[in-house]
Structure 1
Amino acid sequence: MTFRLTWTQPEDLVPHGLRAAEDEGRHTSRIRERWLAAGGSVEPPVSGASDAPASANLRSLARDLLDELDTLPVSGHLSDTEPEIPVLASPVAAASTTAVRDRVRGAWLGRAAGCLLGKPVEKIPREGIRRIAQSTGNWPISSYFTACGLDPAVGEQYPWNRRSRGTSLLENIAGMPEDDDLNFPLIALTILEQHGTGFTTDHVAKAWLDNLPGGRVFTAERIAYRNLLDGYAPLDAGGHRNPFREWIGAQIRADVYGWVLPGRPEEAAELARQDAMLSHRRSGVYGAMFVAAAASASLTADGVDDVLVAGLSVVPPQSRYRHAIEVGAELGRSGQDTETALDALHSEFGHFHWVHSLNNSALLAFALTRSSRSHTEGDFAQAITTAVTGGWDTDSTAATVGSLCGGLLGAEALPSSWTNPLQDRLASSVPGFDGISFDELTDRTVRLQEKFGMKSEDGAE
């Protein structure tokens, strides 16, 4: 079998590139016709790579067409409403100005638990997740997934994520396994410890090259990584032949920027923007800024609504990203049953790839607001299980939902059935972090809060 590296082969990027360009209002018909006439496919490979390599001629054409797609102008409306470098809105007042250690620890544990729940069913469609859960007596989802009792026919039709089965099914969990949704927060922590809040996108690029194996970055991050090695400047690396520029990758890197600046959402969003610009554009950047601002508020606010308001305060008001959050939040407050509301979400956002930022962010807002109907600060179990029930990027979306809900509630309030299996231990491919405890991560985060100056009641530092 020929080895195929995912998310980088030019012939596999063209279908994704066509869709990304069309989402931005670019006119792609001429490029699409040339690609089809040459024998190329316009169906993006779901797993990131097609079964066989293209001919040398088709691959050469693919590179040329990707370059042409980069030069097409975006629609005038998008240029006006979604700037590549957004201007931050006015600060949002938090309900409290004192972040306690327990809430930081809750955010770390919540992120891990949500990620762990979603890991084995990543890439499995919503219907498959339901059938697996029903087959194992876990529907509605109320615990980590298990293979015990799984109907072999269901398992064959919907195989577990192959990288995760041995470490993320209930019977196999022994601490939090390695995952990019936790690796990137560790990288962010390292950047802040080394460079403080004055870091730049250049520092982020160096941190990746120094600490991340190329095989542990995916989609937009893999493209940016490749472009860095090819000599592109960090601020240019995310804009070259990158059809994943509006996907979820930058959004999973942003929590720590909010945790170290509790109650300061606009400052947290600026740090996230510096990070996100290495690999993403527009919705991909807004998602990172939204999460950083929301994470900042989660440590000081009283409830989910305050967190969402803080997140939206740094997002362009007429952007597609804001619309996605507002749709998800409205459905979460609507009183509709879960499946009916999820049907509506999938009807509006189901055409996006399962790793895109817009569909996953709408689901994020839905899961949070639905969980807050009975508890203002969110019902942790309901929040993360709803996020996974909705499908798409299950581990990433549930990780962010778990982070925000965990920050609001604090570690002591999180159900032990979700936190005990983590065994206060995190595996990682990031040097110096493998086996680290969540207690130590909490301590290091709190030290950064102190270093960067938590604000007092009168606004002084």
Structure 2
Amino acid sequence: MTAEYDPGMIEVEIEDALPSPLFLDPNKREVQYERRQCRDEGRDVSQLEERFDALLDADAVTQEELHELLDASRELPVRPDFPYHEPSSLDGIRDARPEGPRQIEGGFDDLDDPYDVIYGGWLGAVAGCFLGKPVQGWSRDKIHSYLKASNQFPLSGYMRSDDELAEEYDIYNTVESSDAEGSMFVNDVPHMPVDDDIDYVAVGLGILDEYGVDFEPVDVANYWLQNLPVFNTYTAERVAYRNLLNLVMPPESATLRNPYREHVGALIRADMWGFVALGDPEQAAEYAWRDASVSHVKNGIYGEMFAAAMMAAAPFESDPRRLLEIGLSEIPAECRLAEAVSDVIEWRENGLDYEEAVERVHERWDESNQFDWVHTISNAEVLAIGLLWGEGDFGESLCLAVQAGFDTDSHAATLGSILGLLHGAEALPNDWTDPLDDTVETSLVSYQRQPISDLAAETLSLVRETGE
């Protein structure tokens, strides 16, 4: 493809971009995001531009007016000159993907110690999330400024809080691991606190435990409603949750009044599908599609499929570029995500240094705009940079990704999962695993405070049961 993807005009600053705290009712800001999303998808917005402008300029609008415009935007056609082919159905995606290995020769049966691999994936996901969580929502400049002021730059391990800098950087030093207002730095919490990125790894485990590998999107929806607290979901997931409560079932739950449908929320849910399909990237991607289609479309879905395929291949393929290529082989060849990740691969091949690559991502995406900050594509680019410039090294790759900014706990958790599967638990450095205290908290009733090792053992048990 020769067309260059332009994420569009920057419309709002992140401080002004946050939706209503509940994400439960459409508001003017969601209408603004919907227009941006439609443009990104290549929809012909021209016939609705005046309605968008009038509503956004109005002093007051009714829910009925908001609903009518959001509903009308769903019917907009894709422009004939749109250079990408981006289906959301599984068959459509498979028809549009490039050649790939689909399955790794030997696969799961060739693993010397499958528990070590799966435990490595769990530890990696938690470690990456723990690394990025203290600075989630911080700009790259603020991250760098804090690291330099606290003598932690360049980043080489978990970040520590600094009492002398607490007020300047809004750090609140508490030891309550579940206190969202408290510090999440490694010296202030005893283990990984509740975070939605890790919640979804446990959600995947629960779905498989309850429904098995033949689960369908509606089973994902039912599991959410029964086990996942609505206020521990965000953006696309919370809109989908709202739709499910109104008996709007998948796949419509992903599209009805959901301007976040290509945001990073599905990509962060990929882990379990890779864990239970080790050696089978195609199957991992299919599981990911079933999960993602509840809340996402197009590149939102592709992000989860891309990550799940890489995870399934990671224990068998140590070359970072090849891992990215395997992930790309399970999504449409002519989509915006494939183009963006391919660009990152090309930057590496052309000899760009790390800072130049990160700067290019920031030129494409404005991290002060929430739409850009939590988008699938921007965070996938950062993940790819961490993997390539870190050359597969566990700590180096994670630190490079988090220093780049954007949704730090999300992309680092996904990257950590890939790297943990690649290396296995025994090979992970103690500096990264000891602070976790083999303990994680989630917001799910069935998986509250759990030993990470037990979650890995339960995952392996499910793999063995489903493989019989």
**Is the shorter-chain TM-score for this pair beyond 0.5, marking a shared fold?**
yes
| CA distance in 2: counterparts of 1:131 and 1:357, whole angstroms | 26
Is the 2:237–2:295 Cα contact (8 Å) retained in structure 1? yes
Q: What is the 5 A alignment of 1:45-444?
A: 55=60, 57-76=61-80, 81-85=85-89, 86-88=92-94, 91-94=101-104, 97=107, 98-99=110-111, 100-148=114-162, 150-151=164-165, 154-155=168-169, 164=180, 166=182, 168-350=184-366, 353-372=372-391, 378-444=392-458
Q: For residues 333 and 449 of structure 1, do their structure 2 counterparts lie closer, same or farther at Cα, with a shift above 3 Å needed?
A: farther
| CA distance in 1: counterparts of 2:83 and 2:241, whole angstroms | 27
Is the 2:166–2:172 Cα contact (8 Å) retained in structure 1? no
Determine helix, strand or coil for the equivalent of 1:426.
Answer: strand
Is the 1:255–1:295 Cα contact (8 Å) retained in structure 2? yes
| CA distance in 1: counterparts of 2:81 and 2:282, whole angstroms | 25
The C-alpha deviation readout for 1:96-155, integer Å capped at 9, x for no partner, is 522322121111101001111111211111111111111111111112222215546741
Is the 1:332–1:368 Cα contact (8 Å) retained in structure 2? no
| CA distance in 2: counterparts of 1:322 and 1:6, whole angstroms | 33
Aligned residues: CA RMSD: 2.5
Query: 5+ unaligned residues in a row in structure 1: which ranges?
Result: 42-53, 373-377, 454-460
- State the AA in 1 paired with 2:134: P
| CA distance in 1: counterparts of 2:80 and 2:54, whole angstroms | 30
Q: For residues 448 and 411 of structure 1, do their structure 2 counterparts lie closer, same or farther at Cα, with a shift above 3 Å needed?
A: same
Q: For residues 149 and 333 of structure 1, do their structure 2 counterparts lie closer, same or farther at Cα, with a shift above 3 Å needed?
A: farther
Is the 2:386–2:398 Cα contact (8 Å) retained in structure 1? yes
Shift of 1:78: 5.2
The C-alpha deviation readout for 1:408-444, integer Å capped at 9, x for no partner, is 0111221211111110011111112111111111111
Counterpart for residue 41 of structure 2: 24
The C-alpha deviation readout for 1:226-277, integer Å capped at 9, x for no partner, is 0011121222111101111111111111111111111100011111101110
The C-alpha deviation readout for 1:378-431, integer Å capped at 9, x for no partner, is 111111111111111110000011110111011122121111111001111111
Q: For residues 169 and 152 of structure 1, do their structure 2 counterparts lie closer, same or farther at Cα, with a shift above 3 Å needed?
A: closer
- State the AA in 1 paired with 2:277: L
Is the 1:297–1:306 Cα contact (8 Å) retained in structure 2? no
Is the 2:117–2:422 Cα contact (8 Å) retained in structure 1? yes
| CA distance in 1: counterparts of 2:93 and 2:351, whole angstroms | 35
| CA distance in 1: counterparts of 2:462 and 2:267, whole angstroms | 21
Q: For residues 39 and 401 of structure 1, do their structure 2 counterparts lie closer, same or farther at Cα, with a shift above 3 Å needed?
A: closer
- The normalised TM-score by structure 2 is 0.87
Determine helix, strand or coil for the equivalent of 2:443.
Answer: coil
Percent of matched pairs sharing the same residue: 36
Number of residues paired by the alignment? 433
Is the 1:104–1:299 Cα contact (8 Å) retained in structure 2? no
Counterpart for residue 51 of structure 1: none
Is the 1:122–1:395 Cα contact (8 Å) retained in structure 2? yes
Counterpart for residue 451 of structure 1: 465
| CA distance in 1: counterparts of 2:322 and 2:348, whole angstroms | 15
| CA distance in 1: counterparts of 2:199 and 2:166, whole angstroms | 33
- The normalised TM-score by structure 1 is 0.88
Determine helix, strand or coil for the equivalent of 1:199.
Answer: coil
- State the AA in 1 paired with 2:104: A
Larger mean Cα displacement after TM superposition, 340-349 or 23-32: 23-32
Query: 5+ unaligned residues in a row in structure 2: which ranges?
Result: 1-18
Is the 2:84–2:334 Cα contact (8 Å) retained in structure 1? no
| CA distance in 1: counterparts of 2:231 and 2:305, whole angstroms | 26
Counterpart for residue 375 of structure 1: none
Determine helix, strand or coil for the equivalent of 1:247.
Answer: coil
Determine helix, strand or coil for the equivalent of 2:405.
Answer: coil
Q: For residues 171 and 80 of structure 1, do their structure 2 counterparts lie closer, same or farther at Cα, with a shift above 3 Å needed?
A: closer
Counterpart for residue 29 of structure 2: 12
The C-alpha deviation readout for 1:167-225, integer Å capped at 9, x for no partner, is 52122121111111011111111111222211100100000000011101100000000
Larger mean Cα displacement after TM superposition, 122-131 or 333-342: 333-342
Counterpart for residue 4 of structure 2: none
| CA distance in 2: counterparts of 1:447 and 1:327, whole angstroms | 39
Is the 1:185–1:255 Cα contact (8 Å) retained in structure 2? yes
